Amino acid sequence: MKLKTFIWIIIKRSLALLKLNKEVIEVALFVTILSSILFTLNVLNSMINQLLTLSTYTPWGIITSIFVHGNLEHIKGNILLLWIWTIYIVFQNSFMVNKFLREDDVSKRLKFSMISVFLSVISSNILWLILSNPGSTTIGSSGVVYAFGGVLLALSLMNFLYISRKFENKDISTKAKAWNMIWNIFVCASLSILVVFQGAIFFATGNPQINALVHLVSFLLAFIMVSVYEYYPLFLLPSIQKIIYHLKNRK
């Protein structure tokens, strides 16, 4: 294979990945760029963080605090983990498309997933504001990061169900089925180990400077919303329709 042909194939496949996963990539870019801009502005004027933080005195911080960070290590850690989860989700959808899901199905699941991320983070910030002591403050996009983790776990579990439904389909190669199963097992196992056995590290419950409540609630809400959204039309709704059909046609 010629070098130009190889490079063109790589570019073509990369563009296809970007197009397929544009929703999640756009959100990751939005959080990264806005957080970087606000961090730079805060370096120049420390009043930025004080104005955009979440507290009883700055309730608008339920939204603005998501994009504000205290120091370089804070923003580096959040953005790095955000993009790790983003890459995981990109690979998930890339493996599933055409074989188990249509492109429009992937687009719909990602649009809802990204909406669920922000709903989860804002809801967890509101809960924190209600439960926190007066004068307490919190900042950072870690809620978005953990909501991404919840989305990732939900999509992995739902992918198992999609693959299981089409496991007898001979038009799909055994290799494709096995590779998707292995990838989703890896994702689920990784996240489960972090959550169950390393909870103190995953949610930083041992560090009073880190908002463990927002981490946990963001993760769980995103996981629940995406799971319900994926499960209902494919598995629960047909069952309900069958029950209704049988009830109507009972003699």
Segment 202-251, tens digit of pLDDT: 555 555 556 788 888 999 999 999 998 888 766 655 555 555 555 566 65
- Find where tokens 């196992």 sit: 189
Check residue 121 and give its pLDDT.
95
d(CA 113, CA 184) in angstroms, rounded, equals 17
d(CA 210, CA 116) in angstroms, rounded, equals 22
Higher pLDDT, 248 or 154: 154
Q: Which tens digits make up the pLDDT trace of 45-97?
A: 888 888 999 988 899 999 999 999 988 988 998 999 899 889 888 888 877 77
Per-residue confidence band for 20, with pLDDT thresholds at 50, 70 and 90: confident
d(CA 195, CA 216) in angstroms, rounded, equals 10
Check residue 197 and give its pLDDT.
58
Burial class of residue 117, CB neighbours in 10 A (0-12, 13-18, 19+): buried
What average pLDDT does the structure give for the chain? 80
Which DSSP letter does residue 101 get? B
Residue 6 pLDDT exceeds 60? no
d(CA 43, CA 41) in angstroms, rounded, equals 5
d(CA 242, CA 12) in angstroms, rounded, equals 44
d(CA 129, CA 118) in angstroms, rounded, equals 16
Please name every residue paired with 143 in a beta bridge, in sequence order, or none if there are none: none
Q: List CB contacts of 181: < 8 A, sequence separation 6 or more.
A: 160, 163
Provide the domain limits for residue 120: 3-248
Structure tokens at 134: 């007066």
Check residue 185 and give its pLDDT.
80
CATH code for the domain of 227: 1.20.1540.10
CB-facing half-sphere around the CA of 191: CA atoms within 13 A:
25
> Mean of the pLDDT values across residues 182-187?
78
Q: What's the number of domains the chain is made of?
A: 1
d(CA 99, CA 173) in angstroms, rounded, equals 9
